[in-house]
Structure 1
Amino acid sequence: MTLSLAPGRVLARGTVLPAIAAAAWLLVAFPLLVAGQFTPLMGLVLGGPAVLVAAAVVQRWVPDLGEDSASVPWWPVVAVGLITVAFAAVQVAYHAEALVIRRDPASYAQFTVWIAENGSLPIPQQRDLIAGGDAALSFDSLAYYEVGDVIWPQFLSGAPLVYSVGYWVGDLTGMLVTAPLLGALGVLSFAGLAARLVGPRWAPLAALLLATCLPQQWVSRSTYSEPLAQILMLGALSLVYDALSRESSLRDRWGQGHVLAGAAGLVFGLALVVRVDLLRDLLPVVAFIGLLLLARRGQVVPMLAGLTVGAGYGAVAWFGFSRPYLDHLSSSLVPLLLLSGGVVLLTAAGTAVLWRRGVPRTDRLRWLPMAGAGLVAVVATGLAARPLFLTQEGHNKESTARYVSDVQEIEGLPVVPDRTYEEMSLLWVHWYVGPVVIVLAMLAAAALTYRILRRREPQWVLPATLFLWTVALTLARPAITPDHPWASRRLIVLVLPAFILFAVWFLAWLAPRLRRRANPLAMRAVGAAAVATMLVPTAWTALGVMGYRSDVGTVPATRELCAAIPNDASVLIVDPAVASSYMQLIRGVCGVPTAEVDPADAATVRRVAGEVRERGRTPVLAASVPRDLTAVAPTEGTSITHPFQVRANKDPSTLMESPRGAWPFAGDVWIAVWP
């Protein structure tokens, strides 16, 4: 089989390859983690071939864009490639060094380090190497739960399993640089979806808008889970498009479309190994499978099978390896599980009732398409108008309330600790992509809803339903600490791509209609103005995170800290702040047993240090200031050093305006090596 480099083929296959490769890796890597055998050797022997086979399948089965490859010019392919490479280069240059746990990226980074080095979960407390079952010891820290005699990371393992490849290749720096690469692949995956749904010539504009916006740049600089989730969700939508590009009945032999449908379902399902909240976003996929059954499409069986397998992986990841996290989320997770069960039952019941009639003929009800478009317009208007008549409160979390009040004081705002700022969610989108994108996207959403119900846009049924569902629910209740850029994570996976894709579709729909009524020169001027009004506000807001790197110097400081701790040490942290943010760093990166001891009782600290010495190990105390060490350590023979000292920038926190500029970050760990 020869490899043709026709542009339509390159764009089609290259843009789904990231999702296929990521899914193939997770398909192998997660069972290795479950078995406690997630090692570089096993990853190379099993994971590497899985990715290569998946790439070969893509090369063979993904159809070309357009009726034939020659109908697609080379310039969109080159433009998308340049945008992707440029994005990766800029984000690598600005990548963060978030290893000290304050927010989510460092907790993912420490999760990655642990499984990459040890290949298994949970994390042992190693009490026998500290002071046995001494009640004075605590092993709990930010994002790491003490459960019995082990420790469980807070989040799901999907993103750390991928970041581990970067760690194996290039240690801490390799892991941190993997994040920008995933962000760039998210831009590439989005370009592929835009090429399919809007047209190859419009894919560069869609990719450029996403690559320019602040949240996509910011989240790609740190080890978050959102870039990987974005790759999987957008790639799966592209695979569904490809799978359904050819007709196939339930009785047809399996072929190209069936393989792609199975891959699409599997990619959707494996996204649940990455993020819990994607279960809500996948509910439209369940309903769509019901529609495929009613349409007697042969692709439905492999798609359902793939989704079931992927969801099975997700269930094991959730309930087997993140149960403490699920318990923490129980107030929102239980209703989500009930909603999901209800959607499955309703889909099954509806499919059974309508089986003989087939897919409902929505086009025969003349009022329905217009009513659907009107409903979209009403919801969009309601979301836009919320700040005028509503101020939402009630996150019911003490730590969040304290932090929100601190940021309110910094910004000079009225101190209302319980305010969630959820009514401003559409304004957040306005900050990041500008008003023109929002207006065009709303017009497109209404128009597409009308056209879908008129049965004119079958290829948009799943993407539009999934996007509209996710956008409406996410903007209605973001459910996140409302400071920015941190809260913009809620918009990354699907919300911002939805707005951009809808807006670009509207331009593509409008362009030929204007072309028939305007001369070419005027048309080019109007097009340039439209693109400028979309790009300029997006780029202007993005300047808020350009010009600084977050947590710079943390990697060398971490290495210095680990070098200063003896190999036979057991570390006792006598400072709650250091225990909260640095315990897993010391335990995981430095590879020594670590626990917290209450510094208020110097006699207890000395007793625990004596128990460490009895076990033939060296007691090491850690704190953020030396006085906490001198208060409990022996006065003679104790070596007190300051190996971790970082003065850097960190990302800001804003509530009523888009983020701009960095805040200062100071990180200090002093250690005392017991004589």
Structure 2
Amino acid sequence: MADSSSAVMSPGVSPVTEGRFSLSEWLFLAILAAILTLGWIGVLLAQLGLFALLNFVPFLLIGLVICCALLALKGRQLWFCIRGAQVGITEAATGLLLLLSFLLYFRPSEHYPLVGDSAIYANNAALLSREGTLVYHYSPLDGLDPDSRRQFYVPSSEQLSFMEIKSYQGLLFGAYYLMDAASGQVVSSRLPLFTVWMAIFYSLFGPRGALFATPFFGALSIWAFYLLGRRLFSQKVALASACLLALSFPQIYFSRASYSEVLTQFLLLSGLYTLALFLDTQRQPCLLLAGLCLGETLLARLDSLILLVPLLILTIYWLIRRYWQRLAWLLLPFGAVAVHALAYLLTLGRPYIGATFEILRLLSRLDFTYLLLGSLLIIAPLFALFYLVRIWRRGSPWLQKARPWGVAVASILVFVVAGWAYFIRPMHPGAGYDHEALVRLGRYLTPLAIWLSIFGLVKLLNLDLSAKNSLLLLFASPFALIFLSRQMVAPVYPVALRRHMSIVIPALLLLAGYGLLQWRRPTRLLKATQAVALTALFVSLIVSDLPYLRYTEAEGAIDLLQRLDSFFEKSDVVLFEPTSEHSQVGWFATPLWSLYGKTALLLSKEEIDEEALSRAMAVWESQGRRVYFVSQSGAPSSPIAESYSLDLAFQEEWVSSIIGQSPTHFAYIWHFDIPFYLYRLRWAEGQGF
């Protein structure tokens, strides 16, 4: 059993790296510093309404001057460090993992049509790139009276049947918050960091290139995960675990679709890696990077607030140990970004955070206070015990003797809770979506990986708990405790896995790799068992991935949008029929406005106020604008068809597919053929306003 002194948060030496940097690590840290800087600057510019590539230039010049100054002052020392960097298996493994990530992830989903939450980020990014701000003006509502405007958005009082949302006035396209219908002011409905990164890619490479932001961060996450595993455990554990993560369906899905999960995952894994790197090398700039990583997660996802629990525990411990310099290097950058995130949430992000908390509170899922407190009560005593053992390990034989018993009790508790969550909880008479969280996660990662991770956790507690790998448990535990008990997301898969992406799935696979592969003197039988188990894991993951490996979601969407854009003139008004079970053409209303600035309006419901629509038609007619109606039917049965003359002007079809969202396992591919009928809308004979 490891000496108790290894189980506290004090500097340690990795058996793999011995405190030295590899060339792969130097390169990763340089890229990480650039990403953290550009992302934060981008959010600031977007908040100020100044987002444009040209406005990054002054900051890049300042950064260049700082780099030149550092080279002048520390260039010789830095050169010797880089020249002395280890070159070998780490660089080969990094190349292998990046190649694997490229092959798996760089088929991004064309999620501009509003097929789900991922399309919200893509459309927000396009609009940010075009307008340069996170507050937009929806000009299609200009000149319309209140009743006419109400035909084209969902009032907050009607969005949900069981409550009225008070944080905004209405929902536009299902993607933007309408703050004031009279002025047409809308704001982004998500936190800004990932939107900013997609907007950077959009500004550089256009609509198709913007979608590669997700694969880019997916690949970087695998790199960060590998470096973290290498620092915490060993080269073998890190490489095997990183390959498992790269091949897992959740990682593939969220590294292709434009969700913010992989960016958050990258930031959190990078934060843990730089913390572990500091404990190895005692280089304080690593803490600066860690603080920025953890802080910027607050600008990416709201559930990153859970990070405050482990960060509080770490801060308290370092205060007790009087590690003042460590605290300053970590908390000052974290605090600066956290203050910025708070300012955003209280201003532009207020509708988003307000609506989220309103809905979760009503659904009785917002017991965050109790969940966070419970996490704190579970984790804090464990680290308090380690601290007491550290202080009194020589003067208190009783505590030293009690430690094995405490670890034994903790190990038994882990097995009991895991067995209950996996076998008993789903069989409860009232079992539902939340009760099956661990089982469903096991279906995507394989049950073998889940139980190897549980075994790895128990093994870690008994044999190898140290300063660095305790960081993994400290930061992963609150997320696992909360989201494996309450998932707080729609009960459909694979999107329901998003809460586990940032740290839960990586932590489980890293513990599984450790439990399977890290043994001091493995026997032949153990080696054979390791080979069989590892082969079974890889084969299971690859087989489950096969239908998706050469598959692109929503393929052809960008081409269709470009054809629609070329057909309509800037002054044309385009009405889309309401989205329903029988019509999905309304998915394209959002990107037609967000990407191209067309006057695209989506009818909010089937029951149309004909008088209100007639008044809107009169306004557009007085402005000399042509009005089109987009339907999925060659013979529309909408009230519009009864009141107006419809002349077919253009016909298209979209033959594609998306990964369907279903409460069942496994994710299925929904193939469809959606026809688009574009009608020129005129007053019927004898009618008019």
TM-score by length of 1: 0.81
Aligned residue for 1:321, secondary structure, equals coil
User: Do residues 34 (structure 1) and 58 (structure 2) align?
Assistant: no
Aligned twin of 2:356: 329
Structure 1 residues 53 and 372: CA distance shift in structure 2, 3 A: farther
- Residue of 591, 594, 600 corresponding to 2:597: 591
Q: How does 1:38-437 map to 2 (within 5 A)?
A: 38-46=51-59, 74-92=88-106, 94-126=107-139, 129-131=142-144, 133=146, 135-137=148-150, 138-139=152-153, 140-149=172-181, 150-246=185-281, 256-257=283-284, 259-297=285-323, 298-331=325-358, 332=360, 335=366, 338=369, 364=400, 365-366=402-403, 367-390=405-428, 392=430, 420-437=432-449
Structure 1 residues 392 and 11: CA distance shift in structure 2, 3 A: farther
Which deviates the most, 286-295 or 336-345? 336-345
Q: d(CA) in 1 for partners of 2:620 and 2:390?
A: 70
CA displacement at 1:316 relative to structure 2: 2.8
CA displacement at 1:191 relative to structure 2: 0.7
Aligned twin of 1:401: none
Structure 1 residues 151 and 281: CA distance shift in structure 2, 3 A: same
| Amino acid of the structure 1 residue aligned with 2:534 | V
Structure 1 residues 435 and 73: CA distance shift in structure 2, 3 A: farther
Aligned twin of 1:635: 645
Structure 1 residues 128 and 552: CA distance shift in structure 2, 3 A: closer
- Residue of 502, 524, 546 corresponding to 1:543: 546
Aligned residue for 2:187, secondary structure, equals strand
| Amino acid of the structure 2 residue aligned with 1:26 | G
Aligned residue for 1:260, secondary structure, equals helix
User: Do residues 646 (structure 1) and 683 (structure 2) align?
Assistant: no
Aligned twin of 1:658: 666
Q: What value does the CA root-mean-square deviation take over the aligned residues?
A: 3.7
**Residues 536-593 of structure 1, C-alpha deviations (whole Å, 9 max, x = no match):** 2222222243343211110000111111221122334443546963332222112023
User: Do residues 10 (structure 1) and 23 (structure 2) align?
Assistant: yes
CA displacement at 1:339 relative to structure 2: 5.8
Aligned twin of 1:478: 487
**Residues 415-447 of structure 1, C-alpha deviations (whole Å, 9 max, x = no match):** xxxxx4222222223222223322221112123
Structure 1 residues 434 and 633: CA distance shift in structure 2, 3 A: same
Q: d(CA) in 2 for partners of 1:111 and 1:204?
A: 36
Structure 1 residues 300 and 665: CA distance shift in structure 2, 3 A: farther
CA displacement at 1:124 relative to structure 2: 1.3
**Residues 460-514 of structure 1, C-alpha deviations (whole Å, 9 max, x = no match):** 222112123322222111122222222222222211111111112223432x222
Aligned residue for 1:131, secondary structure, equals coil
Aligned residue for 2:277, secondary structure, equals helix
Aligned twin of 1:444: 456
CA displacement at 1:657 relative to structure 2: 2.7
| Amino acid of the structure 1 residue aligned with 2:109 | A
Indicate conservation of the 8 Å contact 2:23/2:85, yes or no: no
Which 5+ residue runs of structure 2 have no aligned equivalent? 1-18, 154-171, 394-398, 683-689
Q: d(CA) in 2 for partners of 1:390 and 1:54?
A: 60
User: Do residues 555 (structure 1) and 563 (structure 2) align?
Assistant: no
| Amino acid of the structure 2 residue aligned with 1:118 | E
Q: d(CA) in 1 for partners of 2:470 and 2:559?
A: 50
Aligned twin of 2:34: 21
Indicate conservation of the 8 Å contact 1:198/1:508, yes or no: no
Indicate conservation of the 8 Å contact 1:105/1:224, yes or no: yes
CA displacement at 1:613 relative to structure 2: 3.0
**Residues 598-632 of structure 1, C-alpha deviations (whole Å, 9 max, x = no match):** 67344543331220233454433333335249716
**Residues 134-193 of structure 1, C-alpha deviations (whole Å, 9 max, x = no match):** 544433221322221322332211111111122112211101122222211111111111
Aligned twin of 2:8: none
- Residue of 679, 682, 685 corresponding to 1:672: 679
Aligned twin of 1:3: none
Q: d(CA) in 1 for partners of 2:411 and 2:309?
A: 21
Aligned twin of 2:167: none
Q: d(CA) in 2 for partners of 1:488 and 1:51?
A: 40
Instruction: Give the number of aligned pairs.
Output: 614
Structure 1 residues 144 and 30: CA distance shift in structure 2, 3 A: same
Structure 1 residues 484 and 574: CA distance shift in structure 2, 3 A: closer
Structure 1 residues 446 and 202: CA distance shift in structure 2, 3 A: closer
Aligned twin of 1:614: 622
Q: How does 1:527-542 map to 2 (within 5 A)?
A: 527-542=530-545
Indicate conservation of the 8 Å contact 1:95/1:177, yes or no: yes
Indicate conservation of the 8 Å contact 1:229/1:493, yes or no: yes
Indicate conservation of the 8 Å contact 1:441/1:502, yes or no: yes
Indicate conservation of the 8 Å contact 1:625/1:669, yes or no: yes
Aligned twin of 2:507: 498
CA displacement at 1:527 relative to structure 2: 3.9
Indicate conservation of the 8 Å contact 1:552/1:649, yes or no: yes
Indicate conservation of the 8 Å contact 1:294/1:358, yes or no: no
Indicate conservation of the 8 Å contact 2:291/2:333, yes or no: yes
Query: Relative contact order, CA 8 A, sep 6+: which one is greater?
Result: 2
Aligned twin of 1:513: 521
Structure 1 residues 200 and 100: CA distance shift in structure 2, 3 A: same
Q: d(CA) in 2 for partners of 1:340 and 1:47?
A: 42
**Residues 106-159 of structure 1, C-alpha deviations (whole Å, 9 max, x = no match):** 111111111111111222122564525554443322132222132233221111
Structure 1 residues 309 and 432: CA distance shift in structure 2, 3 A: same
Indicate conservation of the 8 Å contact 2:104/2:549, yes or no: no
Q: d(CA) in 1 for partners of 2:649 and 2:193?
A: 40
Aligned residue for 2:186, secondary structure, equals strand
- Residue of 573, 580, 587 corresponding to 1:581: 587
CA displacement at 1:44 relative to structure 2: 4.2
| Amino acid of the structure 2 residue aligned with 1:471 | A
Aligned residue for 2:645, secondary structure, equals coil
**Residues 363-412 of structure 1, C-alpha deviations (whole Å, 9 max, x = no match):** 6443333333333223222211244532556xxxxxxxxxxxxxxxxxxx
Structure 1 residues 484 and 126: CA distance shift in structure 2, 3 A: same
TM-score by length of 2: 0.80
Q: d(CA) in 2 for partners of 1:51 and 1:526?
A: 53
Q: d(CA) in 2 for partners of 1:53 and 1:85?
A: 33
Aligned residue for 2:521, secondary structure, equals helix
Indicate conservation of the 8 Å contact 1:116/1:167, yes or no: yes
Aligned twin of 2:613: 605
Residue identity over aligned pairs, in percent, reads 19
Which deviates the most, 561-570 or 366-375? 366-375
